[in-house]
A and B are shown apart, each in its own frame.
Chain A
Amino acid sequence: MSVQTETATGIPPISSGRQIAWERRRRAMAKFWQEYRKDRDGMTGLVVLVLMIAVALAAPLLASSRGLNPTLATYPVNAAPGWHYPLGTDSDGRSVLTELIWGSRISLLIGFAATLLSMVIGAVIGIVAGHFGTLNSWFGRQTDNVLMRFTDWFLVVPFLPLAIVLARTLGPSLHVIIIVIGITSWPGTARIIRAQALAVETRPYLERARALGAGHWHQMSKHVLPNVMPLLLANTILTVAGTILSETTLSFLGLGDPTRASWGEMLNGAFNNGVGTGNSLWLIAPGVAIIVVVMAFTLVGHALEAVLNPKLRER
């Protein structure tokens, strides 16, 4: 009964601090979404992404994975588009469309997994450096110093040669390529998160938390992290665009997992089998797919940034 009267006045029942926090977050999310919806480019990107992810998830329904096995391929080799293979076939007689659909799974998986790894490293280093950097102690300053030196050093090491050497050392597999891309793409995130953490650290509620005796872990996880989270999210989306491109490059150079064909693997196959003489869609289709996905991620990322930082909205 009481619940009913309270919803009628629009005030939710207050039972705990946690509930208040969640209510506040829910409202913030709703406001965020309203702002985001106004961004036309961002919405376009979002729709494209949702479609792409749906295709990747529904791959088994759209095309049989048997079509990926060169020994089971029955179509003519290097054929132009036909009824059973709308995008033609490759030099093994496999349908390019089937490869494209299944490749989206691998490419997106590597993109998301590598980004997740990169975000975790970048966020931890950024938050720790930002948190201890504001402490007025020798230990704090040195922690910040060492972490930022390390980050700077990673920033100047050229990505491609390092990734090549690592991938070569660890051997070609899906895990390796995710790890290699993840551990070479975090420095930018670490710097952005550190800058934001430094700004958060000066706010009064952190002073209050310290005065109440909050430990480092509590301060970082309960106060700093939630406040850098939105920025981290925007950065994540932008990083996925980068990691998908990186995967393409590494696979193209022959460092990917040949048994798990991504879009980069397709391009590698097309390049090594003289695509100029065969079905050119074998080359065009994965390239266009990469451009569309990377652009969609970039548009969504920029739209998120614009909502978070109104100064950017003028651009």
Chain B
Amino acid sequence: MLEGALAAAQELRGEEAGAARGGAGLARSLTIKIVSAIVTLFFVLVFNFFLFRVLPADPARNLARGTALTASQMAAVNRTYGLGLPLPQQFWNYLVQTLHWNLGISFEYHIGVSRVIGSALWPTILLVGSSTVFSTIIGVWTGIRGGWHRGSRFDKTSTAINNTLYAMPDFWLGMVLLIVFASKWFIFPEGGMHSFGGGGTGLAGINDLLWHLTLPCIVLTLVYLAEYSLVMRSSLIDEIGSDYLLTARAKGLRDAMVRRRHAVPNALLPSITLIMLNLGFVISGAITTETVFSWPGLGLLSYNALNFPDYPVLEGAFLLFSAAVIAANLIADLLLTVLDPRVRQA
């Protein structure tokens, strides 16, 4: 995935540089990007609809959960969920309903899927958001330090650690941390988001939440910082040989200034693109971590929906995961436009 994301990042950069030729071109290319994001989203909707229609499941039977239903009861259930309609009609209803944020009714919870997903959204945003902040800061910092002093002991150590982390399944790291810190030493809780009884109100409640957040956040941070650090390091190394750095040194700038003012801002662009692109993937990538730590977010929701099986919830979650990636792509595009002077000044 790293290679693919990098290729995409580089391509974005190239496109942006090309778009910089004129202000009108810039507005046009932005419009094209937004439109193509919407088109992609539409394709995902179509795919989503048909994918979940081929699943070997009889929703009516599923809802009945083993109890014998009469034919008329089955028909009633099918009517309620609109399952008896012809496919094009079903598809149209699906489109209209999705646009109204009506994603159907959960087989497991018997309430609207949008409500189920809505309640799982905030834990995932908290977990993914906090871990992304940490992995970005630590990853970029170690990448800069390692890349600038290439071959130093710091560089060698951090590259070795990053390669190891990059090869590590995130859920395995989670389970190891759980055994050590929760089962053996009792420093952190076994899982969940709150202690039994809510963990108190006000400051005590926040403390309790942070206490539960620590381990899953560490896992996601470690797994993703490796990628950011490796990319930051190699894009900084690409800049080191550049003429403009030689010029900066010839002007008599100190080494730290050359790095901070000249090399890092240029080398940051691919990392920023990668981090933004990844943000969309991290949300669905958190499925395993959330499962290990029973963190009540979208990931655990999908895992449970998978085992139930609760197809409407799975379908809704899949749609949201895809939308997150598309949105992250678009934001990465737009952000680069703002950050890259070659585009900004056009």
Contacts and interface: CB of A to CB of B under 8 A. Distances in A.
Nearest to B44: A157
Contact of A188 (B1, B325, B329): B1
Contacts of A158: 280-281, 283-285, 318, 321-322, 324-325
Interface residues of B, number: 55
A283 B322 contact: no
A160 B329 contact: no
A97 interface: no
Give the most central of A187, A195, A267, A291: most B CB within 10 Å: A291
A276 B321 contact: no
Nearest to B8: A155
Interface stretch (A85-93, A130-138, A242-250): A242-250
Given A158-B325, A160-B285, A161-B318, A169 B169 contact: no
A168 B55 contact: yes
A160 B303 CA distance: 11
B108 to A, nearest CB: 15
A192 interface: yes
B51 interface: yes
A314 B52 CA distance: 48
Contact of A252 (B51, B169, B178, B302): B169
A169 B55 contact: yes
Contacts of A156: 40, 280, 322, 325-326, 329
A165 interface: yes
Q: Is the interface of B mostly helix, strand, loop or mixed?
A: helix
Task: Give the interface residue-count category, chain A.
Answer: 35 or more
A298 B234 CA distance: 16
B334 interface: no
A165 B314 CA distance: 8
A283 B3 contact: no
Contacts of B233: 315
A198 interface: no
A187 B288 CA distance: 23
Contact of B4 (A155, A160, A252): A155
Contacts of A235: 3
A295 B317 CA distance: 32
B214 interface: no
Nearest to A154: B4
A205 interface: no
Contacts of A162: 318
Interface in A133-158: 152-153, 155-158
A295 B163 CA distance: 7
B306 A291 contact: no
A158 B52 CA distance: 16
A258 interface: no
B7 A191 contact: yes
A303 B271 CA distance: 23
Contacts of B171: 249, 252, 267, 271
A253 B179 contact: no
Interface string A16-30: 000000000000000
A280 interface: yes
B98 to A, nearest CB: 16
A152 B8 CA distance: 9
Given A156-B40, A159-B281, A295-B164, 8 more contacts: A157-B322, A162-B318, A165-B55, A168-B55, A245-B169, A275-B179, A291-B168, A298-B166
Interface of A: 152-153, 155-162, 164-165, 168-169, 187-188, 191-192, 195, 235, 238, 241-242, 245, 248-249, 252-254, 267, 270-271, 275-277, 280, 283-284, 287, 290-292, 294-295, 298-299, 314-315
10 contacts: A156-B325, A157-B44, A161-B321, A169-B55, A188-B1, A248-B172, A267-B175, A276-B183, A283-B176, A295-B163
10 tightest Cβ-Cβ pairs between the two chains A and B = A188-B4, A276-B183, A294-B167, A158-B284, A287-B172, A295-B167, A158-B321, A161-B318, A291-B167, A156-B325
